[in-house]
A and B are shown apart, each in its own frame.
Chain A
Amino acid sequence: AQSVAQPEDQVNVAEGNPLTVKCTYSVSGNPYLFWYVQYPNRGLQFLLKYITGDNLVKGSYGFEAEFNKSQTSFHLKKPSALVSDSALYFCAVRPYNYGQNFVFGPGTRLSVLP
């Protein structure tokens, strides 16, 4: 079965420190990978995606993500966290040959402390 795991329910980081939000996946073939962010009482906003090519993908708001095929991971990173980055982050995959259905992870709540 296709699945996405985000092993941490909650990540706390001090403002100015680097942050990492982890994502691993289990899908057949070569998936396309996405990160979305959800601010309180808002819908999901697209951050970045990996399709092919360079394993390091840069996205909105200074975020980047690293695709690691051997570890089936797609971790979200930012060199210097801001308090305004505090939100719920979702990893999603678009499996190869699986029609239009995206598979979402359970979400990780990021808290950046001033």
Chain B
Amino acid sequence: DVKVTQSSRYLVKRTGEKVFLECVQDMDHENMFWYRQDPGLGLRLIYFSYDVKMKEKGDIPEGYSVSREKKERFSLILESASTNQTSMYLCASSPLRFRPAGPPLSTDRQYFGPGTRLTVL
């Protein structure tokens, strides 16, 4: 089974702190994603990466950055945490190499980690 792990299940930080959220997948997947989940808004894509050292902005990248130094690890960084970044953060991976256009492939799906619930005070 594919396993996606996240470094913390619960995290409490203070406003202005630098926060690192780590995600590791063990199935040699090409693509990795960071989402935040808020009630009534579903999942919103923050950043994704389709290769080591490559990253692409998602729908809500402001206030976040990412790092992918190794294929299996994708880190989300909050440079200066703010209270409006209190949320559930979900990491996901998928096995297919990013393609800028064209139809999805039949095997395309995402595998999710358990999530990190971050509270910024």
* Real binding pair: yes
A residues touching B (Cβ–Cβ < 8 Å)? 4, 9, 30, 32, 34, 36, 41-46, 49, 51-52, 90, 92, 94, 96-97, 99-102, 104-107
Chain A residues whose CB sits within 8 angstroms of the CB of B117 once the complex forms: 41
Q: Are B43 and A90 in contact (CB under 8 A)?
A: yes
Asked whether A102 and B42 contact (CB < 8 A) given A41-B115, A43-B115, the answer is: no
Chain B residues whose CB sits within 8 angstroms of the CB of A101 once the complex forms: 45, 48, 58-59
Q: Are B104 and A32 in contact (CB under 8 A)?
A: yes
- A30, A44, A49: the one contacting B112 at CB < 8 Å is A44
Is B70's beta carbon under 8 Å from chain A?
no
Main secondary structure of the interface of A (DSSP, over half): loop
Number of B residues with CB within 8 Å of any CB on chain A: 35
Main secondary structure of the interface of B (DSSP, over half): loop
Interchain residue pairs A-B with the least CB separation, the first 8: A43-B112, A104-B43, A104-B42, A44-B112, A106-B42, A94-B104, A32-B104, A43-B114
Asked whether A34 and B42 contact (CB < 8 A) given A42-B114, A96-B103, A97-B101, the answer is: no
Q: Which one of B11-19, B72-80, B92-100 contacts A?
A: B92-100
**A41-B115, A43-B112, A43-B113 given; 7 more Cβ-contact pairs under 8 Å:** A32-B103, A43-B92, A44-B43, A44-B110, A49-B109, A90-B43, A102-B110
Is B62's beta carbon under 8 Å from chain A?
no
